[in-house]
């Protein structure tokens, strides 16, 4: 069997296996889920090692007819961009399982259900990035909502049901708009080249500009809800506040990337002309998102809410990079997706541990953790520094690339976006100061530091953050050709730097 299919099927089979384990033996269930997710990560890493960075186009391609009557194929393949995101997903899942060893305990449903849902979700995540058939992509895109919905609504805290429903309805609304566009492009393909959903074939269609604009909007709104871009972001803070830390990691770290990934793969590549038309609008929305997210993050009293709003700011950067339509911007955006995945994971996991130890998620309830729980505090600190893009940590490289890539085409937007970095320093340093430094808040004196399991979970994340900060080349080697190809397909060329002229 092909590598991508095996990787996708493995968690599903694992979920099936877990479904047959005795429900009472939660330890066995957790161990089984962890081992399965490690195996999947192993397959993912071997896929990355076997990936030929010098070849253009999709690799590990497989194609079987699924519903021939409608021209639908089961068709998978990865290029650099999707490979990086699959890698991110399969690495984060075992980390999330290990880090949140006990977060499945107090849910509405059984522990077993939690891990079954997580593993089903993993299959969907791999599928959504690997699909090269638009219909298949849509199936994963929508079906993915179901496990997430139950994960938020069943295991979260606070107003979890409301948050889960809000998440689901927002996503469904976007998905249905996308469905209309998919139907549109499907019908157009039928008139020109015979009905197909093959993404490479679809990008060769000649579509008149009005139709292209509408079809583009259908896709874009769906993705802008997913990757939340201002003003379609309101579901995210609620969902992130209610979900368990592990679910939030997957939600913000991976699922929201489906939105930004979709913008590259579907919006830009299928509708280059419409992308060009809407670029000014999208750049504006991105810049607003960057500043809006940052300002609201500064004002947050709840630590999960804070991370959610920083993510909105970061998604602004990613979208900015994508629609700058330069190779640097695009590579930067993709690298940013990877880095944001890891730094959000680190932030959410450490914040989750702080919350479960203190029993509160209000920032002001913490204080002086540096003295009481040094390892936890350092982990949070490094995660925070990565989030504000400190040089030497991974996010710096990507943020820099995005800004440079944007500046060559949209200097004003790039300059305004740079303020986001300054605000980032505020929204990270304020909670760092409040929670980690200063006198120990009464009641926090006896909080336990991270145990071995938690250290084992956070260590690889921090290692990746530091490693990619100093040496991003392996990741960029994978990303760059794909980013280059995207820009070329969209019909752009990088503007040559001009010295002394005005643009």
Partner 1 sequence: MTFTAPALEYGALAPMLVIFGAAVIAVIVEAFVSAKLRAPVQLSIALGAIVLSFAQVWRLRGTSTATAAVNSVVVDGPVLFMQGTILILAFFAFLLIADMDAFAAQASAIPGSVEERKALQVGKIQTEVYPLTLFAVGGMMLFPAANDLITLFVALEVLSLPLYLMAGLSRRRRLLSQEAALKYFLLGAYSSAFFLFGAAFLYGYAGDVSLSGIHAAIASGPGNDAFLLIGMISLSVGLLFKVGAAPFHAWTPDVYQGAPTPVTAFMAAATKVAAFGAALRIFYVALSGAQWSWKPVITAVAILTMIVGSVIAIAQRDVKRMLAYSSIAHAGFLLTGVLALNQEGLKASLFYLASYGFTTLGAFALVTLVRDSSGEVTDLNRWVGLAKRSPSVALIFSIFLLSFAGIPLTAGFIGKFTIFTAAYDSGNIGVVVAGVLSSAIAAFFYIRVIVMMFFTDPEEDTVTVTIPSLYTNLTIWIAAIVTIALGVFPTPILDAIASLATFVR
Q: Work out how close the CB of 36 gets to partner 1 at its nearest, in angstroms, rounded to a whole number.
A: 22
Taking the least distance from each CB to partner 1, the nearer of 23 and 45 is 23
CA distance 404 to 127: 32
Q: Work out how close the CB of 464 gets to partner 1 at its nearest, in angstroms, rounded to a whole number.
A: 33
* 312, 452 contact by CB (below 8 A): no
The strand pairing partners of 64, in sequence order, are: 74
Q: Per-residue x/- mask for partner 1, residues 108 to 127, rule CB under 8 A?
A: x-------------------
**Structure-block tokens of residue 406:** 């944007």
The verdict on 24 binding partner 1 (CB under 8 A) reads no
The only residue of 180, 205, 426, 455 in contact with partner 1, by rule CB under 8 A:
180
> Position of tokens 């986001």?
420
The verdict on 74 binding partner 1 (CB under 8 A) reads no
3-class SS shares of the chain: helix, strand, coil, % to 5: 75, 5, 20
The only residue of 45, 61, 187, 456 in contact with partner 1, by rule CB under 8 A:
187
The verdict on 173 binding partner 1 (CB under 8 A) reads yes
Phi, psi of 393 (to 5 degrees): -110, 160
Taking the least distance from each CB to partner 1, the nearer of 113 and 350 is 113
Q: Centre a 10 Å sphere on the Cβ of residue 136 and count the other Cβ atoms it contains.
A: 21
Q: Work out how close the CB of 165 gets to partner 1 at its nearest, in angstroms, rounded to a whole number.
A: 6
The only residue of 146, 205, 221, 288 in contact with partner 1, by rule CB under 8 A:
146
CA distance 322 to 333: 6
Q: Work out how close the CB of 175 gets to partner 1 at its nearest, in angstroms, rounded to a whole number.
A: 9
Stretch that binds partner 1, among 68-76, 84-92, 246-254, 453-461 (CB under 8 A): 68-76
The only residue of 11, 77, 94, 154 in contact with partner 1, by rule CB under 8 A:
154
Taking the least distance from each CB to partner 1, the nearer of 181 and 311 is 181
User: What does the longest C-alpha to C-alpha distance in the chain come to?
Assistant: 72
Q: Work out how close the CB of 195 gets to partner 1 at its nearest, in angstroms, rounded to a whole number.
A: 9
Q: Work out how close the CB of 266 gets to partner 1 at its nearest, in angstroms, rounded to a whole number.
A: 16
The only residue of 38, 172, 425, 466 in contact with partner 1, by rule CB under 8 A:
172
Stretch that binds partner 1, among 174-182, 198-206, 259-267, 435-443 (CB under 8 A): 174-182
Taking the least distance from each CB to partner 1, the nearer of 138 and 410 is 138
Cis peptide leading into residue 190 (ω within 30°): no
Stretch that binds partner 1, among 30-38, 139-147, 282-290, 399-407 (CB under 8 A): 139-147
- CA 116 from chain centre, in angstroms, equals 21
26-49 and 3-19 helices, crossing angle to 10°: 180
Nearest to 85 by CA among 53, 119, 120, 47: 47
The verdict on 150 binding partner 1 (CB under 8 A) reads yes
The verdict on 262 binding partner 1 (CB under 8 A) reads no
The only residue of 19, 38, 177, 193 in contact with partner 1, by rule CB under 8 A:
177
The only residue of 5, 161, 234, 360 in contact with partner 1, by rule CB under 8 A:
161
Q: Using alpha carbons only, give the angle 343, 348, 353 rounded to the nearest 5 degrees.
A: 130
Nearest to 77 by CA among 1, 4, 8: 4
Stretch that binds partner 1, among 67-75, 390-398, 459-467, 482-490 (CB under 8 A): 67-75
The verdict on 19 binding partner 1 (CB under 8 A) reads no
- The conformation of residue 368, written as its DSSP 8-state character, comes to -
Taking the least distance from each CB to partner 1, the nearer of 176 and 456 is 176
The only residue of 130, 148, 164, 462 in contact with partner 1, by rule CB under 8 A:
164
The verdict on 176 binding partner 1 (CB under 8 A) reads yes
The verdict on 213 binding partner 1 (CB under 8 A) reads no
The only residue of 45, 70, 281, 456 in contact with partner 1, by rule CB under 8 A:
70
Q: Using alpha carbons only, give the angle 396, 397, 398 rounded to the nearest 5 degrees.
A: 95
Q: Residue 63: which region, alpha, beta or left (left: phi > 0; alpha: psi -120 to 50)?
A: beta
**Structure-block tokens of residue 77:** 């393949």
The verdict on 309 binding partner 1 (CB under 8 A) reads no
Site for partner 1 in 75-114 (CB under 8 A): 108
Dihedral angle of Cα 321, 322, 328, 333, to the nearest 10 degrees: 70
Query: Which 3-state string (H, E, C) describes 297-351?
Result: HHHCCEHHHHHHHHHHHHHHHHHHHHHCCCHHHHHHHHHHHHHHHHHHHHHHHHH
Which residues, including other chains, have CB under 8 Å from residue 97's CB and lie 6 or more apart? 30, 33, 34, 37, 115, 118, 246
The verdict on 153 binding partner 1 (CB under 8 A) reads yes
- Where along the sequence are the contacts to partner 1 (CB under 8 A)? 66-70, 108, 138-139, 142-143, 145-146, 150, 153-154, 160-161, 164-165, 168-169, 172-173, 176-177, 179-180, 183-184, 186-187, 190
């Amino acid at each position: 069997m092909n590598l991508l299919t095996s990787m996708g099927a493995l968690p599903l089979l694992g979920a099936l296996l877990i479904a047959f384990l005795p429900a009472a033996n939660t330890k066995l269930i957790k161990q089984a889920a962890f081992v399965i997710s490690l195996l999947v990560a192993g397959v993912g890493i071997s896929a990355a090692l076997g990936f030929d960075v010098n070849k253009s186009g999709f690799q590990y391609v497989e194609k079987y007819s699924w519903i021939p009557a409608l021209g639908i194929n089961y068709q998978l393949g990865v290029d650099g961009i999707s490979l990086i995101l699959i890698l991110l997903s399969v690495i984060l899942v075992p980390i999330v399982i290990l880090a949140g060893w006990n977060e499945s305990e107090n849910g509405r449903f059984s522990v077993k259900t939690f891990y079954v849902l997580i593993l089903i979700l993993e299959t969907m995540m791999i599928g959504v990035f690997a699909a090269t058939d638009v219909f298949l992509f849509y199936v994963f895109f929508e079906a993915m909502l179901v496990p997430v919905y139950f994960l938020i609504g069943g295991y979260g805290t606070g107003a979890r049901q409301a948050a889960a429903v809000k998440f689901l309805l927002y996503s469904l609304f976007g998905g249905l708009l996308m469905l209309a566009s998919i139907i549109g492009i499907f019908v157009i393909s039928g008139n020109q080249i015979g009905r197909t959903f093959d993404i490479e074939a679809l990008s060769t269609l000649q579509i008149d500009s009005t139709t292209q604009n509408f079809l583009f909007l259908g896709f874009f709104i769906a993705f802008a809800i997913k990757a939340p871009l201002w003003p379609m972001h309101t579901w995210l803070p609620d969902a992130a506040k209610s979900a368990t830390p592990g679910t939030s990691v997957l939600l913000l770290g991976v699922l929201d990337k489906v939105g930004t990934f979709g913008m590259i793969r579907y919006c830009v590549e299928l509708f280059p002309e419409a992308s060009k038309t809407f670029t000014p609008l999208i750049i504006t929305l991105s810049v607003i998102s960057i500043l809006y997210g940052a300002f609201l993050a500064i004002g947050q009293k709840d630590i999960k809410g804070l991370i959610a709003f920083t993510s909105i700011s970061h998604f602004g950067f990613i979208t900015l990079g994508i629609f700058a339509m330069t190779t640097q911007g695009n590579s930067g955006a993709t690298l940013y997706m990877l880095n944001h995945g890891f730094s959000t994971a680190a932030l959410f996991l450490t914040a989750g541990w702080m919350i479960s130890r203190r029993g509160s998620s209000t920032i002001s309830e913490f204080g002086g953790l540096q003295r009481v729980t040094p390892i936890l505090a350092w982990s949070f600190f490094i995660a925070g520094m990565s989030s504000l893009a400190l040089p030497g940590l991974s996010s710096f490289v990507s943020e820099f690339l995005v800004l440079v890539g944007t500046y060559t085409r949209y200097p004003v937007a790039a300059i305004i976006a740079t303020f986001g970095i300054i605000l980032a320093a505020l929204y990270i340093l304020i909670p760092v100061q409040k929670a980690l430094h200063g006198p120990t808040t009464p009641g926090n004196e006896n909080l336990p530091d991270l145990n071995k399991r938690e250290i084992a979970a956070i260590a690889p994340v921090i290692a990746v953050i530091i490693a990619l900060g100093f040496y991003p080349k392996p990741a960029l080697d994978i990303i760059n050709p794909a980013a280059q190809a995207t820009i070329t397909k969209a019909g752009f060329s990088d503007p040559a730097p001009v010295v002394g002229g005005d643009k």
